[in-house]
Amino acid sequence: MKSRPWLLLLLLSLFFGPAAQGQVRGAVGDNVAERGEYLARAGDCIACHTAPEGRIFAGGRAMPTPFGTLYSSNITPDPETGIGKWSSDDFYRTMHNGRFPNGGLIYPAMPFASYTKVTRSDSDAIFAYLKTVPPVNQKNRPHDMRFPYDNRQLLLGWRTLYFTDEEYKPDPGKSPEWNRGAYLVEGLGHCAMCHSPINRLGGTRESDEFKGGLIPMQNWYAPSLTSDREGGLGEWSIKDITDLLKTGVSARGVVYGPMAEVVYNSLQYLTDGDIRAMAVYLKGIAELSPPPPPSSKVPSSEASLLINHGKTVYDARCATCHGAQGKGWPPHWPPLAGNQSIQMESSVNAIRMVLNGGYPPATKENPRPYGMPPFAGLLSDNEVAAVVSYIRTAWGNRGIPVSARDANELRSAPLN
């Protein structure tokens, strides 16, 4: 329903209200299909299973990966081309085991390695909801995978290395709220699928989960959720975290790129209780002692010139919104001073924001978000590198300078 080991974006799941001790369930009313609709929203199923300008859940969305292009499947209740002939057992096995009803192996762009944690009752609720959506007679488009990745039997090796089928088991040493958040983040939310590094086989070691990674083919970096030098939230307040997840903006930062899509399609629809539970869990996995910054690949003499020139560019182009001292005007114009996303080892997101600009998502609680204009047509590669180097090192920021080559490589990156 959403993607990754090789791709895509990011977070969440489940119902309303606080979870009871030892459980991951909450009450969402008696209507199973309505509860399933909430869960499908939480899992952001629509993001992958609905093509641009296509019918809802009819599939056909192209998902480029380093191994070829995958196309999402039709999960409407059409009996010929969708899941109309499936049983709830078929659906659960697909979610839990990553196999089609006929036993065929599913590419892990469908994050069954996360969905395996989802409970049977939640799987049944999602299936009940999908049976109520309008059926669409649309055949699934064959994947276009390069050799040898078009041989699905190779997935047996991938599964041996990176997949364990098991439902989420609450940690008895943690609070019900923490367990709820863990279930949402690790299960339907499949946050680790984007926020973890992937190797050449398209997999992630369990010890590396949530430690950040480049989202292939999209040229965005999903920051580490454990390191406070990146996206770790150990120093954030619960309100800052919940504001960011629910509305896309907070006093500490703003979401752009793929994460903006997640907030728009999914997170804004979750209950306050579920959002808070996620915040509690995410804050709990953060490491409060950030590692020292890596050494710069830009020679010191060049870095000094870039930073000096960058201040000139910043004062002319950026200070009006972000302030001369980088303090911004939260929540609409985020602060740059002390902003973890500015100081990460990866400079991809900072460069892309200067080049392409962007808007946080329009949400119910922030329906008219303020955006940042693109500067790709106004600034040269040297100027982009200069201003990014400046904001990554000014006001006590612990980032490192970037080069004009870094800026040039991202100038033609896809805008999605």
Average pLDDT over residues 340-366: 90
**H helices within 43-174, ranges in order?**
46-49, 88-97, 112-115, 120-130, 155-162
- Distances in Å between the Cα of 125 and the Cα atoms of 88, 165, 246 are 9, 20, 23
Judge whether 324 and 332 are in contact, CB under 8 Å. no
Q: Is the pLDDT of residue 388 over 90?
A: yes
Kindly give, in sequence order, each residue whose CB lies less than 8 Å from that of residue 300, ignoring residues fewer than 6 positions away: none
Query: DSSP string of 98-124?
Result: SB-TTSPBPPTTS-HHHHTTS-HHHHH
Kindly give, in sequence order, each residue whose CB lies less than 8 Å from that of residue 182, ignoring residues fewer than 6 positions away: 168, 171, 174, 281
Q: Is 13 exposed, middle or buried (0-12, 13-18, 19+ CB in 10 A)?
A: buried
pLDDT value, residue 190:
94
Q: Is the pLDDT of residue 6 over 50?
A: no
What type of residue sits at position 346? S
Using DSSP, state whether 32 is helix, strand or coil: helix
Q: How confident is the model at residue 29 (pLDDT cuts 50, 70, 90)?
A: low
Radius of gyration of the chain, Cα coordinates, nearest whole angstrom: 22
54/136 Cα distance (integer angstroms): 10
Q: Is the pLDDT of residue 13 over 60?
A: no
Ranges of CATH 1.10.760.10 domains, the chain: 300-411
CATH number of 300-411: 1.10.760.10
Each residue's pLDDT tens digit, 98-152: 999 999 999 998 999 999 999 999 999 999 999 999 999 999 999 999 999 899 9
pLDDT value, residue 24:
39
Tell me what percent of the residues of the chain surpass a pLDDT of 70: 89
- Tokens representing 39? 């869960």
pLDDT value, residue 345:
85
Average pLDDT, the chain: 87
69/372 Cα distance (integer angstroms): 31
Nearest to 83 by CA among 123, 31, 4, 136: 136
Indicate yes or no: pTM above 0.75.
yes
Sheet holding 62-65, edge to edge: 62-65, 68-71, 144-145
Q: How confident is the model at residue 23 (pLDDT cuts 50, 70, 90)?
A: very low
Count of Cβ atoms closer than 10 Å to residue 94 Cβ: 24
- Report helix, strand and coil shares of the chain as percent, to nearest 5: 40, 5, 55
Each residue's pLDDT tens digit, 162-188: 999 999 999 999 999 999 999 999 999
Phi-psi region of 147 (alpha: psi -120 to 50; beta: other; left: phi over 0): beta
167/119 Cα distance (integer angstroms): 6
pLDDT value, residue 252:
85
Q: Which residue reads 């209740």 in tokens?
A: 77
Give the chain's end-to-end CA distance (angstroms, integer): 19
Average pLDDT over residues 154-164: 91
pLDDT value, residue 26:
39
- Distances in Å between the Cα of 10 and the Cα atoms of 242, 367, 394 are 16, 21, 30
- Tokens representing 392? 């990554």
